[in-house]
Amino acid sequence: MNRISTMEDLEVVGTDGNLLGWVKGFTFPSVGEWRVTGVSLKMEKQSHEELGVKKPFLSGALVDVSVEDVKIVSDNVLLKMPQRSMKGRLKAHHEGRNIANILNRNVIDSNGKDIGVIADVMVDTDGWKFPSVLIKLNKDVLEFLRMDKCPDCERNVLLPMGKVKSIGDNVMLAIDKETMGNLVQKAPVKTM
């Protein structure tokens, strides 16, 4: 299990050792379907020409690599094939489906109360799922939880992704802060 923030800028490398680009997030199909469908990456300069991808004027193109093309994730993201074999396999990047875009967004509970901000998202690269989201709690929510529900709570709390109802300008939860406190109380090992 990894935090997506720690995977930012990992090199994406083919079996030939050639660099395709750097990780810039992970894609998912839709809210509620928290499986990873692709690795978003910023392409390396020479990869554009070799793979037939138009290079933007000032930076590398953002593209997605299907998780089916990933062999393993460790210090690098290693593909199952040489870099040149990725020609025609790269997918157009959809910014709205990149889970990294929710980092630092405000979190609102089902009663419209501000809870905090998204600090990180956990990713399981073995099963290719997003199991949980790390929320940095607002001071008043933290005080509420410490008094009432979870005296040992830390500033950041892991919440199952299934509790995320929608993603827009803010991240909306399907639960209120009281229910969140009950979840945290039942699983205190999930606080950070």
State which residues of the chain have pLDDT below 70. Answer: 148-153, 185-192
Cα–Cα dist 40/23, whole Å: 6
The pLDDT of residue 151 is 63
The pLDDT of residue 189 is 38
Helix %, strand %, coil % of the chain (to 5): 25, 40, 35
2-100 and 103-190: same fold?
yes
State pTM to two decimals.
Answer: 0.88
Cα–Cα dist 31/163, whole Å: 11
Q: What is the pLDDT of residues 137-191, one digit of tens each?
A: 999 888 887 776 666 667 888 999 999 999 999 999 999 988 887 777 655 433 3
Strands (E), the chain: 2-3, 11-13, 19-27, 38-43, 62-66, 70-73, 77-79, 91-92, 106-108, 114-123, 132-137, 156-160, 164-167, 171-173
The pLDDT of residue 94 is 87
Domain spanning 2-100 has what CATH number?
2.30.30.240
Q: Show me where the domains of the chain are located.
A: 2-100, 103-190
Q: Name the 3-class secondary structure at 136.
A: strand
The pLDDT of residue 149 is 63
Q: Show Cβ contacts of residue 13 under 8 Å, excluding neighbours closer than 6 positions.
A: 19, 20, 76, 77, 78, 79, 83
* Backbone CA torsion sign across 142, 143, 144, 150: positive
Amino acid at 106: N
The pLDDT of residue 55 is 79
Domain spanning 103-190 has what CATH number?
2.30.30.240
Which of these, 155, 154, 172, lies nearest to 163 by C-alpha position?
172
The pLDDT of residue 111 is 96
